A and B are shown apart, each in its own frame.
Chain A
């Protein structure tokens, strides 16, 4: 089912007394977006940017200040959470500690009334189906406290899936897991989502997580949507400096630079020749994989050390115009055998270089002069 958010806004009243009254907090600001049916959307952004608030608006736990939410053609904005048919997995799973796994999963089914009411057998069948989907069929008799983090999370997903929700919402479901389990479970989520084809929104502040499993990602900052698109597209084509910085590990290298007469300067060196860009100071973003080691490269850095990370080598260097403390570049292992001296020279791959307006941070498009 498709979800349409239309000018969704949520403002929390400011707290404080007398004339010290604080300003209102706008947690979600004019969010308009259509989530296609059956897709997995990653909602991504730093802490406090309004991700959880967005989910709470969609599931109905909070009422929007403005705007509407549609599930397909139905306006669900005035509906209570009970009526929306949403499955939700909370950050800390929110399993009922006194119930065993089976009772936990069955809990939402017992709330069904009227014509939706299920018989005992139907409930058992549904519970077993959901448990099978997340592969916890043999844990049904355990209490949540007797499960590992990953198993608890699967129980939470099963509980969200058992009522066949129209929409599945996951609020940072992996944040409590260790690195390996996190990798494993996110694949699991992807698999389950593919299999059930339930429209899913997945909140995370880990860009790796969002990039790896989402069909679409939404990058948010301070309640405002920064960019929406396929993960690779957003990575290759960030709309602004914030998005560029937020996506990618290791993070993008940002330099102070300027455009003069069609030449892009970093420091005193001309690193690229551009067309169609007016003269102005700019921020230059270069992805770590955008550096190519080259004896007669146009970009010179002070070499700190190479770091070997398996197949690739990461060259750590410094540059006076760099905004990050170090410049990180990733190059093939073979290239760096002849690394010597205390400087290192690179050529830049133009498609890995982005220019941003120094005041607004907006992307400045450019073409390469050959």
Chain B
């Protein structure tokens, strides 16, 4: 009994310690964002707290660059990409799981083979393609390369394939069309997976940096990730770190809220989709 108690205490102590380590960067981010610009620059040794918090940095973040606009751009980009991708992968997964057509298994194998090609390689060819199509600095160009995901198609197909065939036959006998079956039976049954995919995709879009950075050089199409970079470059000879941190806080907030709302879904999704690292 006593030993158990000790073990619990040690476990909790360790967890608290670990939580502190994990949370520290967040604390540091928030702390820096409320430090006065002058005060921040005067600190030779960074302080772990501030006695005079200020919101000035937040105002700066929105005024030195059009952060509101970037947020809106990112929102568009995220919603557009995620919605399109959901349609694409659902239909693809349905075809692979349910329909019979010549070459289905070969095509699916080729799809899976695509997963072995590293993203960084694909970025280069995508860049060439989008540039040749003259889609630089457009939303189409931003969105197009990520409206499909082989991994999510695979994940969803496996889910669809687990639905017993009899349900499909029963639906057929009852006069259900393929699309209606997909809509009324398959999608609702696989809803948890779809929700997980949606959330993961939103996070991915919100955080994307390399592609938007490559494909846009017009500030009208910047996403928040590029916006932060811009704030950094705007500090008169010296990076305006507090303003940058304020922007980071603003940008992170939607994701934090999303995470808090769908905590369970994300955790199970990460556990299930954990193979993709």
Contacts and interface: CB of A to CB of B under 8 A. Distances in A.
Interface of A: 59-61, 81-83, 86-88, 90-92, 94, 96-99, 107-108, 111-112, 159, 163
A94 B170 contact: yes
B173 interface: yes
B180 interface: yes
Interface stretch (B4-12, B161-169, B239-247, B252-260): B161-169
Contacts of A61: 169, 172-173
Contacts of B164: 92, 94
Contacts of A94: 164, 166-167, 169-170
A86 B174 CA distance: 8
A112 B174 CA distance: 9
B166 A107 contact: no
B176 interface: yes
Given A90-B166, A90-B169, A111-B180, A98 B188 contact: yes
A96 B185 CA distance: 7
Interface of B: 164, 166-167, 169-176, 180, 184-185, 188-189, 191
Contact of B189 (A83, A87, A98): A98
A86 B189 contact: no
Instruction: Identify which of B164, B169, B175 gathers the most chain A CB atoms within 10 Å of its CB.
Output: B175
B175 A90 contact: no
Contacts of A96: 167, 185, 189
A163 B169 contact: no
B185 A81 contact: no
A175 to B, nearest CB: 13
Contacts of A97: 189
A139 B180 CA distance: 26
B166 to A, nearest CB: 4
28 contacts: A59-B173, A60-B173, A61-B172, A61-B173, A81-B172, A81-B175, A82-B174, A82-B175, A82-B176, A88-B169, A88-B170, A90-B166, A90-B170, A91-B166, A94-B164, A94-B166, A97-B189, A98-B185, A98-B188, A98-B189, A99-B188, A107-B171, A107-B184, A111-B174, A111-B176, A159-B170, A159-B174, A163-B174
Contact of B175 (A91, A112, A159): A112
A98 B164 CA distance: 13
Most B C-beta atoms less than 10 A away, residue of A86, A88, A92: A88
Contacts of A90: 166, 169-170
B4 to A, nearest CB: 37
Contacts of A108: 174-175
A84 to B, nearest CB: 8
A164 B191 CA distance: 32
B173 to A, nearest CB: 5
A107 B174 CA distance: 8
Q: Which of B166, B170, B185 has the most CB of A within 10 A?
A: B170
Nearest to B189: A98
A82 B180 CA distance: 13
B189 A81 contact: no
B16 to A, nearest CB: 40
Nearest to A56: B169
Contacts of B170: 88, 90, 94, 159
A61 B170 CA distance: 10
Contacts of B189: 96-98
A97 B163 CA distance: 10
B184 to A, nearest CB: 8
A87 B175 CA distance: 10
Contacts of B173: 59-61, 81-82, 86-88
A91 B164 CA distance: 12
Nearest to B187: A98
Given A81-B175, A96-B185, 17 more contacts: A59-B173, A60-B173, A61-B173, A82-B174, A83-B175, A94-B164, A98-B185, A98-B188, A98-B191, A107-B171, A107-B174, A107-B176, A108-B174, A108-B175, A111-B175, A111-B180, A159-B174
Contacts of A60: 173
A344 B184 CA distance: 67
Contacts of B174: 82, 107-108, 111, 159, 163
Contacts of A111: 174-176, 180
Ranked 4 nearest A-B pairs via Cβ: A94-B166, A108-B174, A82-B175, A111-B175
Contacts of A112: 175
Nearest to B171: A107
Given A96-B185, A97-B189, A98-B188, A82 B172 contact: yes
Contacts of A88: 169-170, 173
Nearest to B168: A94
A16 to B, nearest CB: 18
A86 B185 CA distance: 20
A296 B160 CA distance: 70
Contacts of B166: 90-92, 94
Nearest to B191: A98
Contacts of A159: 170, 174
B172 to A, nearest CB: 5
B46 to A, nearest CB: 54
A92 B169 CA distance: 12
A112 B167 CA distance: 18
A166 to B, nearest CB: 12
A118 to B, nearest CB: 13
Contacts of A92: 164, 166
Contacts of A82: 172-176
